[in-house]
Every structure is written in C-alpha cells, then in structure tokens.
C-alpha cells in the first residue's frame, strides 16, 4: 500500500504520477495537510483542478475516495447518517407478530443494523488506509450545515442521539473545495490549511496539456495556451478554466487543425466559452487580434 509522501518533492511526484501538475505552493499545502492531519481547504475559479486533487490523492495513496457533493438544503440525513425507516417498520411488524415485548422492540430498532452511513460517517469508519473525504463545493450549502460540519471536522466524530458518539477509527484526509460564490465561515477555515488555486501560468498549463491532451502537437498547444491565457486577462463573464483548455486543444486536434486561425477559433468558441455574451464579443475581430498577438509572442519567444 503506498504510504504518505515524506517531503514536498515526494508529494509533487505522487501527484505527477497521477497526471496532476502541481505548482510548489500547492504541493506544499498538500504535504502539510497530510503530515499534520489537517483538512485542506481549496478555493479558486471553476475548472482549476480543485476536485481533481482529491481524486488523484486517493488513487496515489491507494485510498478510498468518499465524496460529499454539496448543494443548497443538504442536511445531516444525506451527509452523515440516516435511519432506515422502512426496515425499522418491517422489524416492528415482525416483532409484533412474534409477540415480543414492547421495550425490547424499541431497544433493537436503533442499532447499527438500521443505520445507513452517508459520506461523513463512512469516512470515520475503519478502513485499511485512511480514506480521502472530498467535501466538494461547500459554498453551495447553507450556514447551518457548515456549523454541523465544523463539529465533525473539529473532533472527527459524529453524534447520533439514539446511539451515542462515533469517533473516527483513523483521521481521514479531508479536502474541501469552494468556488467562493459566498464566503465560508472563519471558524471552519481556521481548522483547515487554506490554498487559493489560481489559473496556471503559461509554462504549467503547457505541461498540463502535455499530460492531459498528449495527442496534440506542441505547436498547437502553445497557441491554445497563449490564446486562453490572453482571454483570462479580458473582463469576460466567465473565463475559461484548465478543463476548457484541455477540451479545446483536444477538439482542435480532432478537427485536424495544425494551427489556430480566426475561422477555426470562431467555429469552436463554444468549447472554450460558455456564455453567449462572451462568445459574441470574441467572434470576429477581437479573436483575430488576440491571435495575432499570441503568434507574434510565440515568434519572439520560441519555447525550449
Ligand atoms: N494541475 C492540473 N494538472 C492536471 N490536470 C488538471 C490540472 N488542473 C486541472 N486539471 C484538469 O482540469 C479538469 C477540471 O478540473 P476540476 O474538475 O478538478 O476543476 P475544479 O477546480 O474542481 O472545477 P469546478 O470548480 O468547476 O468544480 C480536470 O479534468 C482535471 O484533470
Ligand atoms: Mg470541482
């Protein structure tokens, strides 16, 4: 079973082995979170590789990935545990036909047998290797749930009124992500290490394309990344993330494009931009102008 990395370099290597290209700060944050058993809070723009971190950590460490996808109205029943009411009712019927004593029936009803473990509780149960608990898009939940989570993450335990307190068999590796559609409470952030996941710089985005879109030529990748990096400087409604760069490079390559040209860009903008206002703005002269700029930058600074 792979063990926890012993250094920042080893952490970067573990991520790289899973095709994740991390910068030094992110590798440091991951290393420290693992070493000191603290949750890692990742905030950043959409499509910058936050969720992916939890996935690659789990596969790199040979650990189970337990995912809690957050949404408005998420409650303890879906996040931590739930009683299996249907099964309990059936048990009552059966016990009644067998003429069992009332207090015996009641005592049996709230036992492990009828408890359904949801992601938070599952992460506390025994595992061969500490699991990776991904609490994804926490900003989508509401504050009462955040308060509940605070309790779970402070002591790594869940209290079930009918059953008692269940403590973690081992501390899970916790990754929390947020797109910052609202601020997460300081009390929760204080329990975590924090890292802002930014868009990668040109060099790192090229490396990402190399591993995630290996069939795309270096020449086309360089133009794609140059173009996308320029788009991120504009005041768009929604800037393209890394996921969009990968998709665009792959799509262009599928279309057998060897080189970016204004027409191909116009025809494929929907892979890169997801709002009609942004697409409309870019179509035509603005895209052509950016492309001219990118090509002249490449000519001035050829890579390698
Ligand atoms: N540093 C990276 N190395 C390798 N792949 C990356 C990297 N960053 C992003 N990706 C790729 O980009 C895609 C999007 O990543 P991911 O879903 O983790 O983004 P996210 O930040 O969670 O986005 P959202 O906020 O929209 O959920 C994935 O396919 C992932 O493989
Ligand atoms: Mg995500």
Q: Is the CB of 117 under 6 A from ligand 1?
A: no
- pLDDT score, position 98: 87
Centroid of ligand 2 to alpha carbon of 175 (angstroms)? 11
Centroid of ligand 1 to alpha carbon of 234 (angstroms)? 21
- pLDDT score, position 107: 79
Residue with the nearest Cα to atom 30 of ligand 1?
49
Q: Is the CB of 212 under 6 A from ligand 1?
A: yes
Predicted TM-score (pTM) of the model is 0.93
Written as one string, the DSSP assignment of 131-159 is PEEEEE-GGGS-HHHHHHHHHHHHHTEEE
150-171: pLDDT as tens digits: 989 999 999 999 899 999 989 9
* % of the chain at pLDDT higher than 90: 86
- pLDDT score, position 175: 98
- pLDDT score, position 304: 55
Q: How many CB atoms lie within 10 A of CB 15?
A: 22
Centroid of ligand 1 to alpha carbon of 46 (angstroms)? 8
Site to substitute for ligand 1 among 15, 40, 51, most atoms within 8 A of C-beta: 51
Could you tell me which of 160, 161, 157, 159 has the C-alpha nearest to residue 170?
A: 157
pLDDT tens digits, the chain, 304 residues: what are they? 577 999 999 999 999 999 999 999 999 999 999 999 999 999 999 999 999 999 999 999 999 999 999 999 999 999 999 999 999 999 989 988 888 887 778 778 888 899 999 999 999 999 999 999 999 999 999 999 999 999 899 999 999 998 999 999 899 999 999 999 999 999 999 999 999 999 999 999 999 999 999 999 999 999 999 999 999 999 999 999 999 999 999 999 999 988 999 999 999 999 999 999 999 999 878 999 999 999 999 999 866 5
Q: Is the CB of 240 under 6 A from ligand 1?
A: no
The residue behind tokens 């506390």 is 124
- Which atom belonging to ligand 1 lies closest to the Cα atom of 52? 18
The residue behind tokens 């596969």 is 59
Centroid of ligand 2 to alpha carbon of 42 (angstroms)? 10
pLDDT averaged over the chain?
94
Q: How many CB atoms lie within 10 A of CB 80?
A: 23
261-281: pLDDT as tens digits: 999 999 999 999 999 999 999
The residue behind tokens 């016990």 is 95
* Residues pairing with 293 in the sheet: none
Centroid of ligand 2 to alpha carbon of 136 (angstroms)? 6
In the three-class reduction of DSSP (H, G, I as helix; E, B as strand; rest coil), residue 26 is classed as: helix
Written as one string, the DSSP assignment of 236-263 is -SS---HHHHHHHHHHHHHTT-SS--HH
Task: Judge contact between 25 and 196, C-beta under 8 A.
Answer: no
**What sign does the dihedral 80-85-90-92 (CA atoms) show?**
positive
């Amino acid at each position: 079973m792979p063990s926890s990395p012993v250094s920042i370099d080893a952490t970067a290597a573990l991520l790289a082995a899973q095709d994740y290209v991390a910068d030094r700060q992110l590798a440091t944050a991951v290393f420290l979170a693992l070493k000191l058993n603290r949750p890692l809070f990742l905030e950043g723009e959409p499509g910058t590789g936050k969720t992916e971190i939890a996935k690659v950590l789990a596969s790199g460490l040979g650990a189970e990935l337990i995912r809690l996808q957050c949404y408005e109205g998420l409650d303890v029943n879906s996040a931590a545990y739930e009683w299996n009411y249907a099964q309990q009712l059936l048990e009552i019927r059966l016990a009644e036909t067998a003429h069992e004593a009332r207090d015996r029936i009641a005592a049996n009803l709230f036992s492990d047998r009828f408890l359904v473990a949801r992601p938070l509780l599952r992460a506390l149960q025994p595992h061969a290797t500490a699991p990776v608990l991904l609490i994804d898009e926490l900003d989508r939940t509401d504050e009462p749930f955040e308060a509940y989570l605070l309790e779970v993450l402070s002591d790594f335990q869940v209290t079930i009124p009918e059953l008692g307190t269940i403590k973690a068999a081992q501390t899970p590796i916790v990754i929390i992500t947020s797109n910052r559609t609202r601020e997460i409470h300081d009390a929760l952030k204080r329990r975590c290490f924090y890292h802002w996941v930014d868009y990668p710089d040109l060099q790192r985005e090229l490396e990402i394309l190399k591993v995630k879109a290996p069939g795309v030529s270096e020449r086309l990748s360089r133009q794609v990344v140059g173009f996308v990096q320029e788009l991120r400087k504009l005041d768009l409604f929604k800037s393209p993330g890394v996921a969009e760069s990968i998709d665009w490079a792959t799509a262009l390559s599928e279309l057998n494009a060897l080189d970016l040209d204004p027409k191909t860009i116009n025809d494929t903008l929907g892979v890169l931009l997801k709002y009609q206002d942004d697409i409309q703005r870019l179509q035509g002269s603005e895209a052509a102008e950016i492309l001219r700029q990118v090509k002249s930058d490449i000519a001035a600074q050829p890579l390698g």
